[in-house]
Each structure stands twice: as structure tokens, then as C-alpha cells.
Amino acid sequence: MKRIIVFLFVCILSVIAVACSGGTIKDGDHVLTSNGDYILYKNEKYKFNAKLPESWDDVFQVKSNTDKAIPEKLETITFELKNENAPIFTIGVFNIPSKSAWDQKELANQWEYLTTKNGKTLAIMQSTEPPASFFDESGNVKEDVKEKLSQLDKMINDELPNISKSIQFE
């Protein structure tokens, strides 16, 4: 009987520990872990992290693209409002070996340099305009997206600067 009670006690503690440790979601190379204070985004392919506000939980999604419009660009990782196709920001991974090599490229008008390690450079591009779908034919914000537009504005203007500072290679 003691063994059963001890076993049940251990099981209950295990369930509590898992519940309190936050959730982890893995989607391809993207891992999101919520710890209660922030959401840790981890890119397993390129080995870098970013800290996102906990308030972003369940309101954004991550999409990757390997568009080669810029030859040095390996991949872009876009964070956008969930189900809205409304980009918040994009991280670009470039095959550029150093900051001085980055400075010689004409990418600074779109991308803000973040860091370089092992021949890879990370840069960020914030969204500059809300999606066209947020506006009616007259150019006015649609009533049903005003709250989302306000949320997007806060994410870009108030929270993105801190996210930008947190992006680093492992």
C-alpha cells in the first residue's frame, strides 16, 4: 500500500512539474518554449534564439521562406499575427561572413544588421505597413480589425526593439 501511495505521489508531482514548466511547441526547425516570463524562440537549423513577450502567446505564427531574391540570403523567418497574414518582423539569415562584409552590401536600406557567427549573419526587418486586407476600398481601417491593428502597432513599435536586442546565436 505504501508503494502505491508513493507511486501516486510521484506521478502527481511529475504532472505538476510538467504543467508549471511551460509548454514547448516544435514545428520543423522552429521551437517555441513558454516559461511564464517570455517565449523563447529557438531556430535549430541556424542555432539562434530570440525572446518574445509572453503576451504574444497564441497570437503569432512563424513561417520560413528560402526565396533567393538576394543571392546571399539563405532563409527568412517571418513572425506574423496568427491567421492574418500580417507580418510583425522578419529575421534574415545571410551567408555573409562578417560585419565588414555586410557593410559592403547594399542591404542596410531594408535590413538591420544584428550579429554574425560562423560565416552566417542575422538581420531583422520590421513590418512597415499593415496588410492591405485591414483596409476597405476607401483606405479606411475596417471596423473588425481595429483591435488587431492596434495590437500589431504595439508589437512592432513597443515590443520589437527588445526582441531585436535578444536575438543571438547560441
Domain-located, residue 14: no
Domain-located, residue 86: yes
Is pLDDT above 90 for 169?
yes
Domain-located, residue 7: no
The pLDDT of residue 96 is 97
Domain-located, residue 48: no
In the chain, what are the helix, strand and coil shares in percent, each to the nearest 5? 30, 35, 30
Domain-located, residue 30: no
Q: How many domains does the chain divide into?
A: 1
Location of C-alpha cell 513561417: 63
How far does CA 73 lie from the centroid of its chain?
18
Binning pLDDT at 50, 70 and 90, where does residue 10 land? very low
Domain-located, residue 76: yes
pLDDT digit string, tens, across residues 127-162:
999 999 999 999 999 999 999 999 999 999 999 999
Binning pLDDT at 50, 70 and 90, where does residue 7 land? very low
pLDDT digit string, tens, across residues 57-109:
999 999 999 988 889 999 999 999 998 889 999 999 999 999 999 999 989 88
- Which residue range is the domain that position 132 belongs to? 58-169
Partners of 76 in beta bridges: 65, 92
Domain-located, residue 29: no
pLDDT digit string, tens, across residues 43-58:
999 999 999 999 999 9
Residue type at 113? Y
Q: How do beta strands 112-117 and 86-94 pair?
A: unpaired
- C-alpha cell of residue 76: 527568412
Nearest to 38, CA basis, from 167, 170, 169? 167
State the average pLDDT for the chain: 87
Partners of 121 in beta bridges: 94, 116
Domain-located, residue 23: no
The pLDDT of residue 1 is 52
Number of H helices, E strands in the chain: 4, 10
The pLDDT of residue 151 is 94
